[in-house]
Amino acid sequence: MSRTFDVGIESLAHQPVEAQHHDAPSPAAEPIRSASPPVVNGKSFYIETFGCQMNVHDSEKVAGVLLARGYRAAANPAQADLMLYNTCSIREKAAQKVFSRLGEWRGETQKIIGVLGCVAQQEGEEIFERAPWVSLVCGSASYRKLPDLVAELESGGRRVMALDLDTDETFETEITRRDNPIRAYITIIEGCDYACAYCVVPHTRGPERSRASDSVIAEARRLAEAGYTEIQLLGQTVNSYRDPSPRSLNFVELLQAVAAVPGIRRVRFTTSHPNDFHREIVDAIDATPAVCDHVHLPVQSGSTRILRAMRRTYTRDEYLEKISWIRGAKRAISITSDVIVGFPGETDEDFADTVSLLDAVGYDGVFSFIYSPRPNTSAASMPGAIPEGEKSRRLAFLQERQRQIQIARNAALVGGEFEVLVDARHAARGQWAGRTTSNRMVNFVSPRENLLGEYLQVRVTRAGPNSLVGEHVD
Ligand code: 5AD
Ligand code: SF4
């Protein structure tokens, strides 16, 4: 079985790193595990992934399932017998992109075209209507059915679909085909029980389901044995984790248990919901060196009035109190966030509250979005839509303000030395790239070679809004 990293998974969510083609002995790709060697069926697959890290990781699991069934990874879509799109519907543009991709296969008869993920769940049978050349539709809450669906297609089935949402199971597999050789994702909780007024996720990913802690810890051990040193725990609301097993670990206990796995040097977690963000998480970061000093805590709006309309379950002041716990930690913890501008009814004052919140927190990074009305969400029928031009103006204003904040925060790091986990090589620039524990990207030069997967000390010599530049110091 091939152990190179050029598996047929393409993602729009993360930069492909050169490490994927590098012949580094460590960290290693996770071995494919299956009870018996897969039967080679001569068919190949290609997965294109849109959206969040959860989707990226779901594609890794789907790839594992297909490899175990004897499929090969195709080098490109044209060569694949099975072309899968793992889709995102969080904003309208993402969903449109999927249909434009599907349009490229109009009339295709040689390949099996499949749609997975959030658009599959949202549109269901409608996909067969809009793109009759699609023969597989499977929502993310139904992935455990995927092997059966593929089997049905293999035995001549023309159209297969799975859209169950009322499942209390998670999609667990021991045959995940990890695409990133440096950072390994582990899903600890799927779905979401919140009901934010703008968000399709509870509809597309179903109710919250946590995974048993023993299973998570066993996976972390396997990853460490395979050579990984960094693990990222994933969930739409990762810190709402509740162990369904008799051990009944809470999120902090699970975080610490994963951090205690021999060989694991960094543990990250995303995304945290402010409502379930307790002081114990900050204490755990302080007390546990392997837990990275970064918290992604989406605020969405700085206006309590809008937060209420969004059903975010916290006020501006309550959010800021949580930020004060993080700022009070012994370690300098970086904080990033998600913000939506132009939610229905957002006034100039509400928007000004969001801008002032950026100043008050001093975020190290913000993903900001124009509000996009989504089907099956309560906000879609709210009055007070903000004109598109005004939404764009607010977004540009907010992004410029945040850019200035990042320039100032990063400039304060010049001259400092930080431990960097090397994850890419920019050959043309003669630079390496890696991340600090606070998740800042650092591009740096080094006289040494073969640095992928290594932990190095790097002195920062320059800073931009989105990354740092430095040099390797021994
Ligand atoms: N419109 C714009 N942004 C949205 N997000 C979620 N739903 C919408 C929507 N309807 C953003 C939120 C969330 C991030 C993943 O996407 O900020 O945290
Ligand atoms: Fe969507 Fe809110 Fe759930 Fe996050 S917490 S996934 S924004 S509904």
Q: Are 297 and 312 in contact (CB under 8 A)?
A: no
Ligand 1 pocket test: which of 52, 88, 91, 386 has the largest number of ligand atoms within 8 Å of its C-beta? Answer: 91
Helix (H) or strand (E) holding 115: strand 112-116
- The predicted structure's pLDDT at residue 462: 98
The encoded tokens of residue 460 equal 């920062």
Q: What is the pLDDT of residue 34?
A: 40
Per-residue pLDDT at 29: 41
The span from the CA of 108 to the CA of 172, in Å, is 32
What's the confidence (pLDDT) of residue 151? Answer: 87
Q: 333 with 438: CB under 8 angstroms?
A: yes
Mutate which of 53, 54, 89, 90 for ligand 1 pocket (most atoms within 8 A of beta carbon)? 90
Beta bridge partners of 459: 417, 471
Ligand 1 proximity of 300 Cβ (cutoff 6 Å): yes
Q: How high is the pLDDT of residue 405?
A: 98
Answer whether 304's CB lies under 8 Å from 273's CB.
no
Residue 203, helix vs strand vs coil: helix
Ligand at minimal distance from the CA of 312 is 2
Q: Tell which one of 193, 199, 314 to mutate to probe ligand 2, the residue whose CB is within 8 A of the most ligand atoms.
A: 199
Which atom of ligand 1 sits closest to the CA of residue 370?
Answer: 2
* pLDDT number for residue 455: 97
Q: Whose CA is nearest to atom 17 of ligand 1?
A: 338
- Tell me what pLDDT residue 17 has: 24
Q: 343 CB under 6 A from ligand 1? A: no
| 3-state SS, residue 234 | strand
Q: Which residues of 412-423 are buried (b: 16+ CB within 10 A; e: fewer)?
A: ebeeeebebbbb
374 ligand 1 Cβ < 6 A: yes
All residues at 6 or more sequence positions from 377 whose CB lies less than 8 Å from its CB, including other chains: 197, 198, 199, 200, 203
**Using CA atoms, how far apart are residues 320 and 353, in angstroms rounded to an integer?**
12
Residue pointed to by tokens 């997967």: 453
The set of residues, in sequence order, having a beta carbon less than 8 Å from that of 423 and lying 6+ positions away, is 17, 19, 182, 183, 433, 434, 435, 452, 453
CA of 29 to the centre of ligand 1 (A): 32
Nearest C-alpha neighbor of 272 from the set 314, 214, 328: 314
- What are the structural domains of the chain? 17-162 (3.40.50.12160), 417-473 (2.40.50.140)
Residue nearest to atom 2 of ligand 1 (CA): 371
Please tell me the number of the ligand nearest to residue 237's CA. Answer: 2
Distance 238 CA to ligand 2 centre (A): 11
Instruction: Give the integer Cα–Cα distance in Å for 434 and 175.
Output: 28
Distance separating alpha carbons of residues 221 and 25, to the nearest angstrom: 19
Query: Which atom of ligand 1 has the smallest separation from the CA of 377?
Result: 10
Number of neighbours of residue 355 by Cβ within 10 angstroms: 17
Say how many Å lie between the first and final Cα of the chain, rounded.
38
What atom of ligand 1 comes closest to residue 339's alpha carbon? Answer: 17
Amino acid at 125: E
Per-residue pLDDT of the chain (474 residues; tens, 9 = 90+): 222 222 233 332 322 222 222 223 333 344 334 444 455 678 999 999 999 999 999 999 999 999 988 999 999 999 999 999 999 999 999 999 999 999 999 988 889 999 999 999 999 999 999 999 999 999 988 888 888 898 898 888 889 999 988 677 788 888 899 989 999 999 999 999 999 999 999 999 999 999 999 999 999 999 999 999 999 999 999 999 999 999 999 999 999 999 999 999 999 999 999 999 999 999 999 999 999 999 999 999 999 999 999 999 999 999 999 999 999 999 999 999 999 999 999 999 999 999 999 999 999 999 999 999 999 999 999 999 999 999 999 999 999 999 999 999 999 999 999 999 999 999 999 999 999 999 999 999 999 999 999 999 999 999 999 999 999 997
Residue 21 CB coordination number (10 Å): 11
Compute the distance from residue 137 Cα to the ligand 1 centre, in Å. 24
For residue 237 and ligand 1, the question of a CB distance below 6 A is answered with no
Question: Which residues' Cβ are closer than 6 Å to ligand 2?
Answer: 192, 194, 196, 199, 201-202, 236-237, 273
Ligand 2 atom, smallest distance to 311 CA: 2
51 CA to centre of ligand 1 in angstroms: 11
In short, whether 270's Cβ falls inside 6 Å of ligand 1 is no
pTM, whole model, 2 decimals? 0.91
Residue 437 Cα, ligand 2 centroid: separation in angstroms?
Answer: 26
Q: 132 is written with which tokens?
A: 């009759």
How far is residue 18's CA from residue 386's CA, in Å, rounded to a whole number? 42
Beta bridge partners of 47: 9, 84
Which listed ligand is nearest to 88 at the C-alpha? 1
